Chain A
Amino acid sequence: MKRYSAFAIAREAFRYHMGWERAWASPEPKKKYDAVIIGAGGHGLATAYYLGKNFGITNVAILEKGWLGGGNTGRNTTIIRSNYLQDPSAAIYEKSRSLYETLSQDLNYNVMYSPRGVMMLAQTQHEIRGYERTAHANALQGVDTQFISPERVKELVPIINIEGPRYPVLGALWQPRAGTARHDAVAWGYARACSAMGMDVIQKCEVTGIRSEGGKVRGVTTNRGEIDCDRLGIVVAGHSGQLADMAGFRLPIESVALQALVSEPIKPCMDVVVMANTVHGYMSQSDKGEMVIGGGADGYNNYTQRGSFHHAEETVRALCETFPIINRLKMLRQWGGIVDMTGDRSPILSKTPLEGCFINCGWGTGGFKAIPGSGWGFAELMAKGTSPLCDAFTLDRFREGRFIDESVAAGVAH
């Protein structure tokens, strides 16, 4: 792999940019790998990358049914934050956020991490108490957040209307080092780094069966032939249920469509991310100038990748009250992704009843922010069988009643 640098750009400028090579190879699958990861989204690629980087396991294949990063990695609103309530969540999300800070250097790929700050508006007395509690919890967890006044909110976001008649802004939970990153670049950067370590990123390779022998995983059946492996990682978000079926166990997960939309591009007007959980909407401005708006999740199971129309309407209506200047903007695009919701709104990073088979799922509406941390922890789990970042997020926590309840801390789809 040729490194990207200012020097490389200058060199290529002198030869009509003919020297750039493909960012990652597209190899044919081999017969056998040490580890196979199903799903080449952010989480799957990050897992493979840290398996190689931290544990020296590079005989790895990452199988992808569609194209690289074409699932939820390419469909989210790119927000990165770690202001969660429970200790295990704060640990993995803060690890993730801190890895994002240096990800561009680590991968030699510009993921455009922008620590512009994320604020979650408190618009009811209940929310004030909730966020003050989160701010205290974050202080103990070593996550830098603070509860700020409405005046400070107005200072940071001049376009906001803090005197809304129904839901005035009463304060906000502010995380200054949270922000956004370029979602596709995260997947591409990891894929390039994996490919450079000799791993096989295999696209258009759909897993149709999981083979086991004596309670131990043997390999997978795909539309491109049989592939053997010692260890298998299932990292497929909304379609985890189908893969778990193939492996012979069931998951406490329901899949629903979550949608987002962007406006037409306008001049820079808001340089932070604002989330308004009571009125159910959140917004940031992309580098292109589009207002990126996150909508609600459907209330019923579905795999449609578009989402219900009335959710978009509700979100936009709420945001027009909160940000009056956007009410004449046109919508440019709308899309949906299939998110895997657990009962306690926390992920599952766990061994499974099938030996050698591991599952990473249940990130629900907020998986993008967790990509590096999830990969870091899940790689450790796959390599060593245990990981301090993952050990609280086991599959059997539901049976044992050890919920990691984030449905309050993250009451909105995020």
Chain B
Amino acid sequence: MLILTCPCCGVTGEETEFAPGGEAHLKRFGPGSTDDEFHGYLFEKVNPRGVHFERWRHANGCGKWFHAARCTVTLEVFGTYSAQTTEPPQDIKDRISAKRPGWSWREFA
């Protein structure tokens, strides 16, 4: 069972308290972008087996969005952090490096 801590209100709860929101740190493309960029943004998901960064919402709680760094194989949560950022914070990246040496996810490593 997946257990997350909401970085906004500090509450720790199991997954029924939260709603998954898909891949994190998406760069959005719209009018004026190339077909490749738009297709990549809409459809080409990373779908990693291992380290993953996702958006979650504390749906049955404070209602705020946040980010979570997680392992898709073991359901281990490396940490949660604010949604007001374009890349994972260094301390979360360090924590992942300690547990999953050599990890990479999209442009982050």
Contacts and interface: CB of A to CB of B under 8 A. Distances in A.
A400 to B, nearest CB: 10
Interface of B: 1-2, 15-16, 19-20, 35, 39-40, 42-45, 47-49, 52, 54, 72-75
Contact of B44 (A239, A252, A309, A310): A252
8 contacts: A239-B49, A241-B47, A241-B48, A255-B49, A301-B52, A303-B49, A304-B74, A308-B2
B76 to A, nearest CB: 11
A308 B1 contact: yes
A407 interface: no
Given A302-B72, A302-B75, 4 more contacts: A241-B47, A250-B44, A254-B47, A308-B15
A300 interface: yes
Given A308-B15, A398-B39, A301 B47 contact: yes
A343 interface: yes
Given A310-B15, A310-B16, A398-B39, A303 B45 contact: no
Given A251-B44, A303-B73, A399 B39 contact: yes
Contacts of A303: 49, 72-73
B67 to A, nearest CB: 13
A299 interface: yes
What is the size category of the interface that chain A forms with chain B? 20 to 34
B54 A398 contact: no
B72 A252 contact: no
Contacts, number: 55
B20 A299 contact: yes
A327 interface: no
Given A299-B19, A309-B1, A253 B75 contact: no
Contacts of A309: 1
Nearest to B54: A300
B1 A252 contact: no
Contacts of B54: 300-301
B20 A300 contact: yes
Contacts of A399: 35, 39, 43
Nearest to A242: B49
Contacts of B40: 250
A301 B39 contact: no
A255 B47 contact: yes
